[in-house]
Amino acid sequence: MLKIYNSQTRNKTLFEPLEAGKVKLYVCGMTVYDLCHIGHARVLVVFDMVVRHLRHLGFDVTYVRNVTDIDDKIIKRATENGETISELTTRFIAEMHHDAALLGVEVPDQEPLATGHMPEIVSMIQSLLDKGYAYQAKNSDIYYSVNKFESYGQLSGKKLEDLCAGERVAVDDAKQDPLDFVLWKASKPNEPEDAKWDAPWGQGRPGWHIECSAMATHCLGDSFDIHGGGMDLMFPHHENEIAQSEAATGHKFVTTWMHNGFVNIDNEKMSKSLGNFFTVREVLKQYHPEVIRYFILTSHYRSPLNYSDKNLDNAKRVLDGFYAALNGVSTTESVAVDDYGQRFKAAMDDDFNTPEALAVLSELRRELNSEKDEKQIEYFASVLKKLGGLLGLLQSDPENYRKAENVVTSESGLSEDDITALIKQRLAARGNKDWAESDRIRDDLKTQGVVLEDGAEGTTWRRE
């Protein structure tokens, strides 16, 4: 029986959908003004894994993953680029789809755009105004009055009396209370025309939080089973979604909240401000996309995911081993998975414990590599491929996977052996005090995306 950790109750409980046999799932998707980064990749892969397992259990799943295609960052980027908002967002939606497909992420059942749901957004805001949960400020913006919603903080555990201006709360003189958040931003004179929509209270555009509430309830109803997203969205985004949705509809918004953990870069939280920020496209220059997917699944979805070249290299080594074990072996889809399948299912039923599920695959690989009987070899290979498929892994032809790996290596520039040889040449040049040659090798490596760092213990390198 499937158990899921509910971020709201802080407990792992037996999952029971609102309607027997059916699951309604909403996940906060991308804000499309740039390429997807590794944090986005984790959300895409994690909830693709969740949907795959739910369907394997026999549930009829409706999976909705939205696209935020209007907000301040999008307007700013489009203006900087000298293009329309639609041109910008259309381009980056296509880029997102490209990255998702490479990572083996299946297309969601619905992918609503915020700009395609303005009537629902306006209607929900009007309902909040009519019920006294929202007000129009002197600057013409519409705000949600947090103090009017008695159970605010039910998801994050934060209490109104403990919250203060400055804690992820924008200070704005127009608000009646610093905790209030914007539902509708009135148009400003210098804003582009394609960033304005009509509403009974005046032209403008929606705030980010109301977009998700309107899209989720439109696609899945006032109440649905699972709402997912990154842990960074728990407060204020998801907390605000609950407040405005339940105030508008009068019904409980979501039964189970799921949040995946942060991505750390060499044990530091990934952040543009720290300069440790990687796009999926950058990582794909060095690693096969299935290596990235495998790497993401090696950590439990609620745990931090530590991105490093070492961890990705380890994932590559293990995945290469799986495909090497499958190479040249016939498989059948009709195989009975027996004890391995039961243990795999037990791991996944325990709050989607992918590390334990991958451990079952590793055991199968060891059995396959040590087996001598041809029928048993085919059996182990078939079970390995069948269970791997439930995670979106091991479905390529092993020879095609190997060729693709070679292409990734060649396109990423120098191999590790090449880099090591050049570092040795540079060290020899430095030993001969040939500083010009030393600098030339360092600069040549940098142009090929390899950065050298000289320290007390010698020279290390990393790819940019």
Which residues are within 8 A (CB) of 29 and not within 5 positions of it... i.e. 6 or more apart? 43, 65, 66, 67, 68, 111
Give yes or no for a contact between 26 and 52, defined as CB atoms under 8 angstroms apart.
no
Q: pLDDT per residue over 98-108, tens digit each?
A: 999 999 999 99
For 407, the enclosing helix (H) or strand (E) is: helix 398-411
pLDDT value for 105: 97
pTM for this entry: 0.86
Indicate the SS3 state at residue 433: coil
CATH superfamily to which 18-263 belongs? HUPs (3.40.50.620)
Q: Which residues of 186-225 are buried (b: 16+ CB within 10 A; e: fewer)?
A: bbeeebeeebbbebebeebbbbbbbbbbbbbbbbbeebbb
Which band of pLDDT confidence, cut at 50, 70 and 90, is reported for residue 454? confident
Q: pLDDT per residue over 152-195, tens digit each?
A: 999 999 988 777 644 555 556 789 999 999 999 999 888 899 99
- Gap between the Cα atoms of 80 and 53, Å rounded: 42
Dihedral Cα 217, 222, 225, 226, nearest 10 deg: 40
- Gap between the Cα atoms of 5 and 300, Å rounded: 12
pLDDT over 60 (residue 412)? no
CATH T-level assignment (fold) for domain 308-411: Four Helix Bundle (Hemerythrin (Met), subunit A) (1.20.120)
The residue ranges of every structural domain in the chain are: 18-263, 308-411, 416-463
- Gap between the Cα atoms of 308 and 314, Å rounded: 10
Structural tokens at position 356: 């334990």
